[in-house]
Chains A and B, each alone.
Chain A
Amino acid sequence: MKIPVTFTLNGTEAAAFTDPGQNLLDLLRRNLGDLTPKFGCGQGTCGTCTVLIDGEPHLSCLILAEAAQGREIETTAGLANGPDLHPLQTAFMEGFAAQCGYCTPGMLMVAKALLDRNPSPTRDEVIEAISGNLCRCTGYEPIVEAILTAARAPRHATGRTA
């Protein structure tokens, strides 16, 4: 039995048929080809599958695809504006805030949710925001620094060009 589901993905309308039990992560990756959210644990512990639903970070591996009906979904694929990188991406790039890169999409999404809500967070607030996301290369310090750097960047500044 296929269930139709429609939502907004990074500002564009998206539609897919989902199977009962399919999670949003699998739908985004397999059905819609947005490979930026990653599978790390399937249990809600690592955070690398994080996407924004109506602006709030959610673990897409724990959300049924049907639940996305009518929502606004944001992923790392929508961060850059054409060739212009988001200030967070620029800061991660220049601050060496990624090693293997596998946790990076999740980190970027929780950081975006934080800065959208709170443009000048304290260091503690940044740490709190990424506390659900694991980095095994142990680059937390540069990640925190990069998020703080992005917050200090001028509003609406376009970052580096990809």
Chain B
Amino acid sequence: MPVEFRKDLFADERDDNLAEIGKPHIRQDILGHVTGRSPYYDDHLFDGLLHLRCVRAPYHHARVRSVDASAAERVPGVVRIIRPSDVPQNLNTLLALLNFGRDDEPLLTPEKTGYRGEPILAVVATSEAAARDAVAQVKVDWEELPHVLDVEEALKPGAPIVNTTYPNNTFDYHDRYDHQKLRFGDTEAAFAQADHIVEGEYQMSPIEQAPIETCGAIASPETNDRFVCYTSTQALFFSVAVSAKQTALPSSRLHFIGGTVGGGFGGKVDSHHEPLAILGAMLTGHPVKYQWDRAEEMQVGAPRSGERWRIKDGVMRDGRIIAREFTGFFDAGAYTRLTSYGVQKCTGHLPGPYTIPNVASNTYCVYTNRTPSTAMRGFGITGVDFSIECQMDRVAEAVGMDPIELRILNAYRDGDMKAHRRTAKNCALIESCQVVAQKSGWALSPDAMAQSSRVGGGAGWRAEIPETVIDHAGQIGERRRNWIDTEPFAGATQRDRIAAGTANEHPATGNAPQRDDMVIEAERLGFKVSDGPPAGAPSYGTRATAPTPPAAPSFTPPQTPTPPVGAPVPYPNAGPSLPPAARGAPAASPPVSAAPPTPPSPTTPSPQPAPTVSTTPPSAPAGSQDQAPRAPRRPGVSRFISGPRGRR
């Protein structure tokens, strides 16, 4: 069978022969590599170069009672001690550049350290040896604090507070939720119908990127009132912005040179060397190098986060997975770095490349007293993919099925609706499975070999967004105040499980979107949205400041949450017998009529748009005015990302 490449998307972009694959090419930078002339950051020589090294916390969690650096200052060769108070803007978080998360990590920690190796003081000296001597001479009076190293321990009430910016030991998504949530269909109803329930727990340790070139930077005053900085960074513009912020210099005074990286793998995205080296150059007037040694690279360098996953599948006798629930924990370590983003990325990836009609997940970005974790090669995806594929093997075992055929049976096919409400396109899992089986001499049934990603998808229930059950458990602080379980729908009968089809009136979902393309698309949620101001009014920016936002935790749903017990779970009898839900017919009706407006429930205080701020003519009816530029809308079609708009 010829290998089929899914080239639809790139048909007009390059040749279809892929003749390059498997053949060596001459890299444009390789002459420098084989002659040893590629200019890594440390390959720049400076007269009078000073060396910077840090005093680091010896405990997982500790408080600095006092620091005595007088002996260190007397070590021959020591030029300057840099203290936390010397850093113009000490607190930072990388993704603050994208307005995502709070500044939670000091460059030099003044008081409480959250992980072993956290820097509290920097020494600048004329030689590396002198800097090491001086670091050893700094006397710190440490008060060791109780620490927590396990993600689930950290979520319990009474666990030590790792990061005072996030006192619940979880990243606060949208300042409202302690986790990322995915809800699609009704997993609980489907579990009740499944022939088998298959559960598994999986875990992945943190992984250090371990580049052969350790992280570092050299900064030096230039003659034009700027500072030049040679750096190993993988993300030069992150580094410029972070350095400008923490040194309080305009970025026009920073001259960054990077681009030759001795191995990165994600570990050189966080920028801690550049601001400290520049600060050293500012305070001493000399070139300063801040280079990690190997021990620092391994102990202090931010790894890929450890992850723990629990997966629960509802499976029919024939191997069809009808429901899948995830509970996931990402170990951020003591500070956020990029883990908050990894969790989001991961949630968008669930439930793996399989068409499953009922999916629910709760995924947590948890702080523990371990080394902060960050980017590494597919972070957010790799750990859960490992878990999902292990789980698929367990499912195959439970139903007595060939593991590859099980994957082919459940694989995404073109046109299928994914749990995150996008249509699957250019699927190739089935073909990949067939090629793998073929190449490894694994016999597949003729039926499995005949399957195709292009056939059988996108019809009936496979193309539908099912009526979706939601819950609002897990708002900030809830978990710490009164212990509630971490699984999706845990304790949901008491804790506002909101049945499929009921209006989504919970105030917590009323976050004001930042841009108009983030306005709720009712037809892509799976539950009906009231037609009040939240759905269409152009005055979103004012909603956040509406005078009487109801207190979140005291909410009771407007209708009695009765899970649709008898309701048919969209199980793949596939054929035309399953009536498509009214709004799901993809082609025809415009979205205005597709989502029948529900009058705002009188029991729920719906925030009133402030009348003054809107820049649009007040006479325009809210709904129609907003809808006009946003049509046409179909499930799975975004005017921003996919489709002809983006391609031609």
* Chain B residues with CB under 8 A of A94: 24, 26
Output the least CB separation between A136 and chain B (Å): 5
Which A4-60 residues have C-beta < 8 A from chain B?
A: 21, 29-30, 33, 35-43, 45-46, 48
| CB closest chain-B residue, reference A48 | B212
- Binary interface profile of A, 81-117, with partner B (CB < 8 Å = 1, else 0)? 0000100010011111011111111001000000000
Q: Which residues of B contact A37 (CB under 8 A)?
A: 36
Q: CB of A64 within 8 A of chain B?
A: no
CB contact between B293 and one of A36, A38, A42, A96 (< 8 Å): that residue: A42
A41 CA / B291 CA spacing, docked (Å): 11
B307 CB → nearest A CB, Å? 22
- Which of B56-64, B66-74, B258-266, B322-330 lies at the binding interface? B258-266
Interchain CB contact under 8 A, B43 and A40: no
Assess A39 versus B42: contact at CB under 8 Å? Given A92-B30, A134-B212, A162-B31.
yes
Q: Are B263 and A100 in contact (CB under 8 A)?
A: yes
- Given A100-B262, A101-B262, A102-B263: A75 touches B24 (CB 8 Å cut-off): no
Q: In the complex, which of the residues A30, A39, A77, A136 contacts B36, with contact meaning CB atoms closer than 8 Å?
A: A77
Contact B34 A21 (CB under 8 A): no
Residue of chain A at shortest CB distance from B260 = A101
Residue of A nearest to B44 (CB): A35
Chain A-chain B contacts (Cβ-Cβ < 8 Å), number = 106
Distance A103 CA – B214 CA, assembled complex (angstroms): 12
In the complex, are the beta carbons of B34 and A85 less than 8 A apart?
Answer: yes
Question: SS class of chain B's interface: helix, strand, loop or mixed?
Answer: loop
Check: B14 CB closer than 8 A to any chain A CB: no
B648 on the A face (CB < 8 A) = no
Q: How far is the CB of A51 from chain B (nearest CB, A)?
A: 11
B174 interface hit (Cβ, 8 Å): no
* Inter-chain contact B34/A45, CB cutoff 8 Å: no
Instruction: Find chain B residues with CB under 8 A from A40 CB.
Output: 212-214, 294
B213 to chain A: which residues have CB within 8 Å? 38-40, 100, 102
The minimal Cβ–Cβ distance linking B555 to chain A, given in whole angstroms, is 51
Residues of A within 8 A of B209 (CB): 136
Which of B260, B262, B264 counts the most A-chain CB atoms under 10 A from its CB? B262
The verdict on B27 contacting chain A, using a C-beta distance below 8 Å, is yes
> Which B residues lie within 8 Å of A77 (CB)?
35-36
1/0 per position for B18-32, CB-CB distance to A under 8 A? 000000111101111
- Minimum distance in angstroms from A24 CB to a CB of chain B: 16
B265 touches A136 (CB 8 A): yes
What are 15 A-B contacts with C-beta separation under 8 Å? A30-B45, A35-B45, A37-B36, A40-B294, A42-B294, A43-B294, A80-B35, A98-B27, A98-B33, A100-B211, A101-B33, A102-B212, A104-B36, A134-B212, A136-B265
